[in-house]
C-alpha cells in the first residue's frame, strides 16, 4: 500500500516526479491541492526526504492549515516539521530571524490597512494637505502597489515630478516609509518586499536554498511579481520546483497578480515537465459543463478538457427576481426548503461579486433567524474593542510602535488630548526616541501635574505588563491587562447596553488565546500577535459550526461547498463592478471569476438576477449578466418573473439631493449624471454644491472637491 494509491494515474505521476521543475496545470476541482498534499506526505514517508527540506506555499492561511492537517493525518507528527505556509507567514518567519540585517528588531509589528491609513493621515496633516480628492485609502493602496512593483519613493518622484498630486503622494510615501521603520513596523507589502531583499543577500539566499531543496506552490496563477521572484530565487539552485495552478482561475490581476508567471513557466524552465489533470472530482457534470461553457469564451484560456464520472445532477437553477429583496426571499425560501429536506445550514454558501451585496442577505437571514456568517466583511479583528486590546499588546511587545500607542494612550480616557500628545511627540522627535520611551521621561516634557500623574500611572502599568509578558503566558497577561486598565467598565460606560456585546467580543478573543495556548507548547506574545496579524478573510471559516456562509467570490478561492447561490448576476455588477467599459483583459478576469464561482459548487448551483435594484443610490433596471447567456440553455432550469412597469428613475436618488438651488449655481455637473471615476469606477452624482460633489459608488458615497473633479472623473 502506498500513500499515492488514493490518487489517479496522472496525479500519481505528478506526486512521484520529484526532481526538476514540474508544472501541474489543471482545471478547478481536479485535485491539484490534493496532489501536492499527498506529494509532501509521500516524499517524507516513502522516499525518506527530510521534512525540513520541503517548503509548500499556499494562498491563504486557511489553505495552509488544511494542508498541514491533511499531511499530518496521512503521516503523523513528521508532517509538522514541514514548512507549509502563505508567502506572508513565510516572510514573517524569515524576517524575525534576519530582520536585523535590514534594520528591524525581531519583534516588529505588522500594520494592517487601518494602521496604514492612520500613519498616512498624520503625514497629510504634517504636510497640510486638505485636498479631499486624495483619500488616505487611495494613497495607501497606491503606496502598496508602488512597493510591490519595486518602485522607491525617489524613483516615483523623478518620474512624475511635474504633477502636484504625484508630488504629494511621493512625499507621503517617503515619510510613510520612515515612520514605519521608526515604529519598527511593516505593512503587508513590506513583508514581501523585505523578504525579497533578504534573498538578495547572497549568504542568506544560499542558506535558504540549501534548506528548502523541494518547493511547491499552490495557486501559482495568482502570484505577483515579488512572490514570483521569491520562489524562483529560492529554487534557483536545486530547481526542484513544483508549481500548481489553473490560468482560468487567475483572479487577482487587479492586485498585481501576474498570469504570465504560470504561462511562462516553460520558458523559465525549458526542461520543465508538464502534467495535466483532467478529471474533476468536485462537481456534477451539469455544473462542470456550465463552467467549461463560460470559460471557453476567454481567448486567453488554454484548451483544457475537464470531465467527471459524476452523474449529470440537477440542472442549474436560474432565477429571475423582481428586485433585490425578492432575490433574498428566493434564496432564503430555498434554504428553508432544502433544510427541511435534510440538508444542514453549513451546506449553503451565498457568493457575490462585492461585499456591499451582503447587507440585504444579512437582514433577511437575521429576520428568519437563520444562523449565518459573513466572511471578509467587518472582521472580528477589525472591531474597535478588539483593536484596542491588540494595540495594547502590540505596544507591550514592541515599545517603538507609536501607531498603536497613539491609539491607546487615551483609552480609557486619561485626559490626554491632541495638544499633550503633540508635546510628547515633539519631545520624542527631539530626542530621537519613541513615544513610549518619552513616557519614561515625563519630568522633562513640561506637562501639567494632573496629566503627568495620569501618564505616570499609565506608564507604570505598561511597564508591569511588559514584565509579565516576559515571564507569564499570553492569557495571564491578557487578564492583567483588562483588569489593569479597567477595560470592561470603560466599555460599559462608553456604550451602555451595547457594551455587553463588546465585552463578549473581548472574552471571545481571550477564548481564542486559550485555545491557541492549548495547541502549542509555549505561545509567546510575539507569536500570538503574528498569528493574529496574518489572519485573513477566510481564516475564520469554521467547518464544524452549522451556519450559512456568505462571501465574495474572491474569498471562495480553493474552497468547495455542496450548494452555492451565485447572486446579483447582472451586467454592471458582474461583470462590471468597477467600470462600465471593461477592456478585454478586465472582462476576461471577470469571466475567470465567474468560472471560479461556478466551480465551487459540488451538487447544486443557483444563479439569480433581478429586474431592478437600488444601485448607486438609484433604482435601476437590470439585465442579466452576459455570463448567464454563455451557459447552454439545456443546462438551465429557468424561472422568470414578468418585468414590471417602469417607474420614474428619478424617484430613487431624490433623497440624496443636498441643495435645492443647484440650477442657479450653473455648475458643470448635474445631479443624476453618471460618471466614471479613475479609481472608484462607475458612480452617480447624488449631491452637489459650489465646493464639492457627492458621488454614490457601488461600495458607498464619496465626496470630491469640485475643483479637482475633472482630473478624476469623466462623464459617462
Ligand atoms: P481548485 O482549482 O478549486 O483549487 P483543486 O484542483 O485544487 O481545485 P482539490 O480541492 O484538490 O482540487 O480537489 C477537489 C475535490 O476532489 C476534493 O474534495 C478532493 O478531495 C477530491 N479529489 C481530488 N482528487 C481525487 C481522487 N483522486 N480521488 C478522490 N477524490 C479526489
Ligand atoms: Mg486547490
Q: E strand or H helix at 290, and its extent?
A: helix 285-295
Ligand 1: residue whose CA is nearest its atom 26:
7
Mean pLDDT across the stretch 61-90? 94
Q: Could you confirm whether 219 is annotated as catalytic?
A: yes
Distance (angstroms) between ligand 2 centre and the Cα of 624 equals: 29
Q: Could you confirm whether 249 is annotated as catalytic?
A: yes
Report the CATH architecture of 109-183: Orthogonal Bundle (1.10)
- Integer Cα distance of 409 and 392 in angstroms: 9
Q: Is the CB of 281 under 6 A from ligand 1?
A: yes
pLDDT greater at residue 673 or residue 172? 172
Residue 447 phi/psi, 5-degree rounding, is -105, 160
Measured from the Cα of 8, ligand 1's closest atom is 27
Measured from the Cα of 246, ligand 1's closest atom is 2
Residue 270 phi/psi, 5-degree rounding, is -60, -25
Q: What is the CATH number of domain 316-379+541-638?
A: 3.40.50.300
Measured in whole angstroms, how far is the alpha carbon of residue 385 from the centre of its chain?
21
Residue 692 phi/psi, 5-degree rounding, is -145, 165
| Fold of domain 673-715 | SH3 type barrels. (2.30.30)
Q: In the structure, how many helices (H) and strands (E) does the chain have?
A: 30, 22
Residues 524 and 362: beta-carbon distance below 8 Å: no
Q: Could you confirm whether 202 is annotated as catalytic?
A: no
Model confidence band, residue 646 (pLDDT cutoffs 50, 70, 90):
very low
Residue 30 phi/psi, 5-degree rounding, is -90, 5
Residue 701 has pLDDT above 60, yes or no: yes
Q: Is the CB of 530 under 6 A from ligand 1?
A: no
Residue 601 has pLDDT above 90, yes or no: yes
Ligand 1: residue whose CA is nearest its atom 20:
34
Q: Is the CB of 625 under 6 A from ligand 1?
A: no
**Burial class of 228 by CB neighbour count within 10 A (0 to 12, 13 to 18, 19+):** buried
Q: What secondary structure, in 3-state letters, does 402-428 show?
A: HHHHHHHCCCCCCCCCHHHHHHHHHHH
Residue 575 phi/psi, 5-degree rounding, is -85, 165
Per-residue pLDDT tens digits for 10-37: 999 999 999 999 999 999 999 999 999 9
Which residue in 221, 249, 357, 406 is the catalytic one?
A: 249
Long-range contacts of 581-588 (CB under 8 A, 24+ apart): 581/676, 584/299, 585/253, 588/298, 588/299, 588/300
**Would you state the cell numbers that stand for residue 247, as one nine-digit string?**
490560468
Per-residue pLDDT tens digits for 377-388: 556 777 789 899
Model confidence band, residue 690 (pLDDT cutoffs 50, 70, 90):
low
Ligand 1: residue whose CA is nearest its atom 15:
282
Q: Is the CB of 246 under 6 A from ligand 1?
A: yes
Q: Is the CB of 245 under 6 A from ligand 1?
A: no
Q: Is the CB of 282 under 6 A from ligand 1?
A: yes
Distance (angstroms) between ligand 1 centre and the Cα of 180 equals: 42
pLDDT at 658: 34
Ligand 1: residue whose CA is nearest its atom 25:
31
Model confidence band, residue 162 (pLDDT cutoffs 50, 70, 90):
low
pLDDT at 407: 93
Distance (angstroms) between ligand 2 centre and the Cα of 277 equals: 12
Report the CATH architecture of 9-98+194-279: 3-Layer(aba) Sandwich (3.40)
Which residue in 600, 604, 684, 692 is the catalytic one?
A: 600
Per-residue pLDDT tens digits for 265-301: 999 999 999 999 999 999 999 999 999 999 999 987 7
Residue 278 phi/psi, 5-degree rounding, is -120, -10
**Burial class of 478 by CB neighbour count within 10 A (0 to 12, 13 to 18, 19+):** buried
Which residue in 10, 11, 12, 33 is the catalytic one?
A: 33
**Annotation: binding site for ATP:** 26-33
Q: Could you confirm whether 218 is annotated as catalytic?
A: yes
**Would you state the cell numbers that stand for residue 697, as one nine-digit string?**
459608488
- Integer Cα distance of 374 and 540 in angstroms: 10
Q: Which ligand is nearest to the CA of 556?
A: 1
Q: Which ligand is nearest to the CA of 32?
A: 1
- Integer Cα distance of 481 and 461 in angstroms: 9
pLDDT greater at residue 355 or residue 54? 54
pLDDT greater at residue 293 or residue 639? 293
For residue 602, which of 238, 280, 200, 335 has the smallest C-alpha distance?
280
| Fold of domain 383-537 | PCRA; domain 4 (1.10.486)
Is the bond leading into 412 cis (omega within 30 degrees of zero)? Answer: yes
Per-residue pLDDT tens digits for 91-138: 999 999 999 999 999 889 999 888 898 899 989 988 887 776 778 888
Q: Could you confirm whether 32 is annotated as catalytic?
A: yes
Distance (angstroms) between ligand 1 centre and the Cα of 210 equals: 31
Measured from the Cα of 28, ligand 1's closest atom is 2
Q: Is the CB of 502 under 6 A from ligand 1?
A: no
pLDDT at 8: 97
Which residue in 148, 190, 218, 279 is the catalytic one?
A: 218
Per-residue pLDDT tens digits for 526-576: 989 988 887 765 555 555 679 999 999 999 999 999 999 999 999 888 987
Which residue in 112, 219, 246, 694 is the catalytic one?
A: 219
Fold identical between 9-98+194-279 and 316-379+541-638? yes
Residue 6 has pLDDT above 80, yes or no: yes
How far is the first Cα of the chain from the last one, in angstroms, to the nearest whole number?
65
For residue 716, which of 676, 687, 677, 680 has the smallest C-alpha distance?
676
Q: Is the CB of 570 under 6 A from ligand 1?
A: no
Look up the ipTM and state it.
0.99
Residues 61 and 535: beta-carbon distance below 8 Å: yes
For residue 343, which of 636, 561, 638 has the smallest C-alpha distance?
561
Residue % of the chain over a pLDDT of 70: 91
Residues 592 and 291: beta-carbon distance below 8 Å: no
Q: Which ligand is nearest to the CA of 560?
A: 1
Distance (angstroms) between ligand 1 centre and the Cα of 306 equals: 13
**Would you state the cell numbers that stand for residue 153, as one nine-digit string?**
519613493
Region of poorest pLDDT, from 176-180, 352-356, 540-544? 540-544
Report, in this order, helix, strand and coil percent for the chain, each rounded to 5: 55, 15, 30
- Integer Cα distance of 593 and 393 in angstroms: 39
Per-domain residue ranges for the chain?
Answer: 9-98+194-279, 109-183, 316-379+541-638, 383-537, 673-715
Q: Is the CB of 30 under 6 A from ligand 1?
A: yes
Q: DSSP assignment, residue 662?
A: H
Measured from the Cα of 596, ligand 1's closest atom is 3
Residue 329 has pLDDT above 60, yes or no: yes
* From 281, 307, 308, 310, mutation site for ligand 1 pocket: most ligand atoms within 8 A of C-beta: 281
Residue % of the chain over a pLDDT of 90: 60
Ligand 1: residue whose CA is nearest its atom 30:
281
Mean pLDDT across the stretch 205-216? 98
pLDDT at 604: 97
pLDDT at 617: 61
Ligand 1: residue whose CA is nearest its atom 11:
31
Q: Is the CB of 454 under 6 A from ligand 1?
A: no
Q: Which residue(s) pair with 613 in the sheet?
A: 620
Residues 271 and 297: beta-carbon distance below 8 Å: no
* From 282, 283, 287, 557, mutation site for ligand 1 pocket: most ligand atoms within 8 A of C-beta: 282
**Burial class of 194 by CB neighbour count within 10 A (0 to 12, 13 to 18, 19+):** buried
pTM of the model: 0.79
Distance (angstroms) between ligand 1 centre and the Cα of 383 equals: 35
Amino acid at each position: 500500500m502506498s500513500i499515492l494509491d488514493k490518487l489517479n494515474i496522472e496525479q500519481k505521476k505528478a506526486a512521484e516526479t520529484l526532481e526538476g521543475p514540474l508544472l501541474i496545470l489543471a482545471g478547478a476541482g481536479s485535485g491539484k491541492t490534493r496532489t501536492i498534499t499527498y506529494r509532501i506526505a509521500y516524499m517524507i514517508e516513502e522516499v525518506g526526504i527530510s521534512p525540513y527540506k520541503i517548503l509548500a506555499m499556499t494562498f491563504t492561511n486557511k489553505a495552509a492549515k488544511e494542508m498541514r492537517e491533511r499531511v499530518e493525518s496521512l503521516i503523523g507528527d513528521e508532517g509538522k516539521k514541514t514548512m507549509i505556509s502563505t508567502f506572508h507567514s513565510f516572510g514573517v518567519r524569515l524576517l524575525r530571524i534576519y530582520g536585523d540585517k535590514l534594520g528591524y528588531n525581531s519583534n516588529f509589528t505588522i500594520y494592517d490597512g487601518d494602521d496604514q491609513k492612520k500613519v498616512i493621515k498624520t503625514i497629510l496633516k504634517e504636510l497640510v494637505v486638505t485636498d479631499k480628492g486624495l483619500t488616505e485609502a487611495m494613497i495607501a493602496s497606491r503606496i502598496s502597489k508602488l512597493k510591490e512593483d519595486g518602485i522607491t519613493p525617489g524613483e516615483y518622484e523623478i518620474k512624475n515630478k511635474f504633477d502636484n498630486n504625484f508630488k504629494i503622494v511621493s512625499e507621503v510615501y517617503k515619510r510613510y516609509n520612515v515612520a514605519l521603520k521608526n515604529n519598527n513596523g511593516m505593512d503587508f507589502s513590506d513583508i514581501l518586499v523585505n523578504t525579497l531583499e533578504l534573498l538578495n543577500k547572497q549568504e542568506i539566499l544560499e542558506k535558504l536554498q540549501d534548506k528548502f531543496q523541494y518547493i511547491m506552490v499552490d495557486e501559482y496563477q495568482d502570484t505577483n511579481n515579488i512572490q514570483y521572484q521569491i520562489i524562483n530565487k529560492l529554487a534557483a539552485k536545486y530547481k526542484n520546483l513544483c508549481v500548481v495552478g489553473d490560468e482560468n482561475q487567475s483572479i487577482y490581476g487587479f492586485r498585481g497578480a501576474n498570469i504570465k508567471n504560470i504561462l511562462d513557466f516553460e520558458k523559465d524552465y525549458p526542461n520543465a515537465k508538464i502534467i495535466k489533470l483532467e478529471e474533476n472530482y468536485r462537481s456534477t457534470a451539469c455544473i462542470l459543463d456550465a463552467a467549461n461553457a463560460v470559460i471557453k469564451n476567454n481567448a486567453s484560456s488554454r484548451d483544457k478538457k475537464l470531465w467527471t464520472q459524476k452523474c449529470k445532477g440537477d440542472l442549474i437553477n436560474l432565477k429571475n427576481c423582481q428586485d433585490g429583496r425578492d432575490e433574498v426571499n428566493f434564496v432564503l425560501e430555498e434554504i428553508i426548503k432544502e433544510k427541511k429536506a435534510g440538508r444542514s445550514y453549513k451546506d449553503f454558501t451565498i457568493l457575490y461579486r462585492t461585499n456591499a451585496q451582503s447587507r440585504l442577505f444579512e437582514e433577511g437571514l437575521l429576520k428568519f433567524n437563520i444562523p449565518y456568517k459573513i466572511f471578509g466583511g467587518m472582521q472580528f479583528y477589525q472591531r474597535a474593542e478588539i483593536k484596542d486590546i491588540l494595540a495594547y499588546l502590540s505596544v507591550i511587545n514592541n515599545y517603538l510602535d507609536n501607531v498603536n500607542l497613539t491609539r491607546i494612550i487615551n483609552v480609557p480616557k486619561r485626559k490626554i488630548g491632541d495638544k499633550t500628545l503633540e508635546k510628547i511627540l515633539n519631545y520624542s522627535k527631539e530626542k530621537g526616541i519613541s513615544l513610549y520611551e518619552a513616557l519614561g521621561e515625563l519630568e522633562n516634557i513640561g506637562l501639567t501635574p494632573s496629566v503627568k500623574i495620569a501618564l505616570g500611572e499609565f506608564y507604570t502599568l505598561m511597564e508591569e505588563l511588559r514584565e509579565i509578558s516576559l515571564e507569564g503566558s499570553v492569557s495571564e497577561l491578557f487578564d492583567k491587562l483588562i483588569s489593569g486598565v479597567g477595560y470592561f467598565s470603560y466599555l460599559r460606560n462608553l456604550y451602555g447596553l451595547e457594551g455587553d456585546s463588546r465585552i463578549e467580543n473581548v472574552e471571545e478573543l481571550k477564548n481564542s488565546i486559550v485555545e491557541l495556548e492549548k495547541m502549542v507548547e509555549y505561545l509567546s506574545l510575539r507569536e500570538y500577535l503574528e498569528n493574529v496579524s496574518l489572519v485573513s478573510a477566510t481564516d475564520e471559516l469554521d467547518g464544524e459550526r452549522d451556519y450559512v456562509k456568505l462571501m465574495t467570490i474572491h474569498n471562495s478561492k480553493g474552497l468547495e461547498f455542496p450548494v452555492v447561490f451565485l447572486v446579483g448576476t447582472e451586467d454592471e455588477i458582474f461583470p462590471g463592478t468597477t467600470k462600465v467599459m471593461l477592456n478585454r483583459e478586465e472582462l476576461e478576469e471577470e469571466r475567470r471569476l465567474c468560472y471560479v464561482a461556478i466551480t465551487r459548487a459540488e451538487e447544486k448551483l443557483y444563479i439569480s438576477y433581478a429586474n431592478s435594484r437600488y444601485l448607486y443610490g438609484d433604482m435601476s433596471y437590470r439585465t442579466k449578466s452576459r455570463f448567464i447567456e454563455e451557459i447552454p440553455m439545456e443546462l438551465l432550469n429557468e424561472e422568470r418573473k414578468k418585468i414590471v412597469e417602469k417607474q420614474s428613475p428619478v424617484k430613487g436618488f431624490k433623497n440624496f439631493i443636498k441643495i435645492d438651488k443647484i440650477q442657479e449655481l450653473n455648475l458643470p455637473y448635474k445631479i443624476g449624471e453618471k460618471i466614471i471615476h479613475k479609481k472608484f469606477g462607475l458612480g452617480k452624482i447624488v449631491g452637489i454644491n459650489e465646493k464639492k460633489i457627492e458621488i454614490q459608488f457601488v461600495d458607498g458615497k464619496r465626496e470630491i472637491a469640485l475643483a479637482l473633479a475633472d482630473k478624476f472623473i469623466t462623464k459617462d
